[in-house]
Amino acid sequence: MRSNFILTFAWFYGYSNIRRAPIYILAYLSLPLSLLFFIYVISKGELLAYGIVGGLLSVIVSNSISLIGDFAFLRLQLRLQDLLVSTEIGPMDYILGLTLGNFIYTLPGIVIYILLGIIFHVFSTIQLLIILGISAVLLISTTSLSITLASLIRHTRHSWGLSTFLSLIFTILPPLYYPYSILPKDVLYLLLLSPSTPASMIVQGILNLQNTDQISIVAFILESIVLISLPRYAMRWRE
C-alpha cells in the first residue's frame, strides 16, 4: 500500500476541489438544506430530526454517487488509470485515494449537519459516534458502488446521467427524510436495495425515532460487504 500516493491523491481529489471551487460545497448542500427547510415548515418542527439525520446521510451518499462521473472522466478522458497501471501504484491505492478524497470533499457538509444536530439536540455524544460509524461504512460502500459502475461505463457522457439518476433513487425516495414505518412493507423491502435505506432505518432506531428493525441491520451488513468487494472484480487494472 502506497500511503504517500493515497494521501497525495486524496489531497488532489478532495481538498484541492474545495479550495479551487468552494461553491460546490453550497451546490451539494443546497438540496438537503432546502428539504430541511420545507420539512421544518410543513411539519412545524416535528420532523426536524428526520431532516437533519436524513441530510447527513444524503450528503454522504450523493457525493459518493457523483464519483461515477469523476471516475469515468479520469479514466476515459484523462487516461489517468492507464498512467497509473504502468507504475507501482495498485488498484487498492487508487480506490483508497478516491475514497479518502471523497471524504475530505464531503467533510464540510458532515460538519454542518453535526452542528445542526447539536444545536437542536437531535443526538447525544454516544449516538453521534454510532451514527458516524454507520456513515463511514455507508461512504465506503457507496463509493465502491460508484467505482464499480464507472468501471463498466464506456462513454463519459453516460456517467453524468447515471449519477444524477442514482442520486435521486438513493437519497430522495428512501426513508431518509421521513419515518420508514409509513411505507408499505413491499415498498420498504424494495427500497432496502439502496444501502441508504437500511442505514437510515438503523439511525432512526438509534435516535429512538422509530423501533429498530433487525432486517435493516442484516441488510446493511450484507450490502456493505458485497458493495465494498465489488471494485476488485469490476475494475480493470492493466495496460
Measured CA distances, 181 to 120, 171, 193, 206, 222 (Å): 23, 17, 17, 15, 22
* Structure confidence at residue 218 (pLDDT): 96
* Structure confidence at residue 91 (pLDDT): 87
* Structure confidence at residue 238 (pLDDT): 63
* Structure confidence at residue 239 (pLDDT): 54
**How far is Cα 189 from Cα 173, in angstroms, rounded to an integer?**
13
Tens place of pLDDT per residue across the chain (239 aa): 788 999 999 998 888 888 888 888 998 999 999 999 999 999 999 999 999 999 999 999 999 999 999 889 988 888 888 888 888 888 889 989 988 999 999 999 999 999 999 999 999 999 999 999 999 999 999 999 999 999 888 888 888 889 989 998 999 999 999 999 999 999 999 999 999 999 999 999 999 999 988 999 999 999 999 999 998 787 777 65
> For 92, phi and psi rounded to 5 degrees?
-70, -35
Measured CA distances, 169 to 153, 165, 173, 187, 197 (Å): 19, 6, 6, 13, 10
**How far is Cα 17 from Cα 216, in angstroms, rounded to an integer?**
35
* Structure confidence at residue 104 (pLDDT): 94
**How far is Cα 116 from Cα 110, in angstroms, rounded to an integer?**
10
- 202-215 in b/e burial notation, b at 16+ Cβ within 10 A? bbbbbbebbeebee
